[in-house]
Amino acid sequence: MELVDILEKLSNASGVTGSEDEVRALMKEFLKPNVDELQEDKLGNVIGIRQGKKSAPKIMFAAHMDEVGLMVINITKDGFLQFTKLGGVSDRILASQKVVVHTRAGSLPGVIGSKPPHILKEEERKKVIEAEDLYIDIGASKKEEVEQMGVRIGDPVSFDVKFTRMGKEMVMGKAFDDRVGCAVLVEAMRRLPKVDATVYAVGTVQEEVGLRGATTAAFQLAPDLGIAIDVTIAGDVPGIKEVEAPIKTGNGPSLTVADASLITHPQVLKLLRSAAEESKIPFQLEGGLRGGTDAGKIALTKGGIPSGVISIPTRYIHTPFSVVNLMDVENTIKLAIASIKGAPKFF
Ligand code: ZN
């Protein structure tokens, strides 16, 4: 399967944080042929192990399988679903979205309803409708009907978006945060030749609500170094100042120097930079991120694990439609492989 097809499958799959089953199944399928051992831990992390030499370092790569989404918290007597947000979703992008409600009886299509402009009051036109005032319409007319359709409180809701290619080398889809990272992990393992280092390719759960899966996976694996593969904000669009988000699509993966959860270990940064330079892979450096990644938790495991982040520049993250450049994805795969090869020199 081509890289773009792997990404398409991963992006279209649903994996609202805490309900990662569909993505987990795909990760297992994709990783299996290219690892010596495949595990699933108690929280649901998928761990592919490529066994290396005893004397060589053990590297944990983490890409999170979950995506931000919604969860049903109430069913009105008229048959509408009220919801809460799981992970960082802006109220601005919710109204009028097409969604899928994942029930025990299967998936149901729905739409987050919004008032037609004709009946909007003057002050309503400029206002963002808050999530608690919104509802999902699944075509039911009363509560009992909703229940008969299989909906229960706690059911996850994802955005209904189909992966699409656009322009020369761009793709658009949902959940690129962090299915692009998952695709990189899968493809890096597929292309990885026999190397000295031991590699743990981990698809983590519940990153979007507090880096939870990575916390337990890192504790169990106790690697010598940890690298999160995640997305970062690409600011190369109108309305974003360079200082707010200096990373651009098409300029190669971004190496985090520091974010809200991590100051990248100098030895890891050195490894990543030199791997990129030696393999002539373009890269960007980034220092002012307000978010965090799985690497933040890996770094604080046990007595401390040197950690870093490789990110794919991504436009419109945490909205239903994100955009990445396939060349950046390709270069991130190359950088992951080059880092694995180079690791024994540094650890
Ligand atoms: Zn992420």
Classified as helix, coil or strand, 154 is: coil
Gap from CA of 16 to ligand 1 centroid (Å):
12
Gap from CA of 82 to ligand 1 centroid (Å):
26
Instruction: Give yes or no for a contact between 191 and 336, defined as CB atoms under 8 angstroms apart.
Output: no
CA nearest to 204, candidates 212, 192, 194: 212
Gap from CA of 177 to ligand 1 centroid (Å):
5
**pLDDT score at 288:** 76
Give the chain's domains with CATH numbers: 3-67+174-345 (3.40.630.10), 69-159 (2.40.30.40)
**pLDDT score at 117:** 82
Instruction: Give yes or no for a contact between 321 and 281, defined as CB atoms under 8 angstroms apart.
Output: no
Residue type, 311: S
Q: State the virtual CA torsion across 135, 141, 145, 151 in degrees, nearest 10.
A: -10
Gap from CA of 334 to ligand 1 centroid (Å):
20
- The distance from CA 27 to its chain's CA centroid, rounded to whole angstroms, is 13
**pLDDT score at 228:** 98
| Residues belonging to the active site | 207
Gap from CA of 207 to ligand 1 centroid (Å):
7
Gap from CA of 291 to ligand 1 centroid (Å):
9
**Rounded CA gap, 221 and 223, in Å?**
6
Q: Taking the chain (347 residues) in consecutive chunks of 10 residues, what is each chunk's mean pLDDT? A: 96 96 98 98 97 97 97 98 96 95 97 87 87 96 97 98 97 98 98 97 95 96 98 96 94 96 97 98 91 95 97 96 98 98 96
**pLDDT score at 202:** 98
**pLDDT score at 124:** 83
Global pTM value: 0.96
Gap from CA of 232 to ligand 1 centroid (Å):
8
**pLDDT score at 146:** 98
Gap from CA of 41 to ligand 1 centroid (Å):
20
Sheet holding 322-325, edge to edge: 164-166, 170-173, 322-325
For the chain, how far is it from start to end, CA to CA, in angstroms?
Answer: 34
**Rounded CA gap, 15 and 156, in Å?**
9
**Rounded CA gap, 282 and 274, in Å?**
11
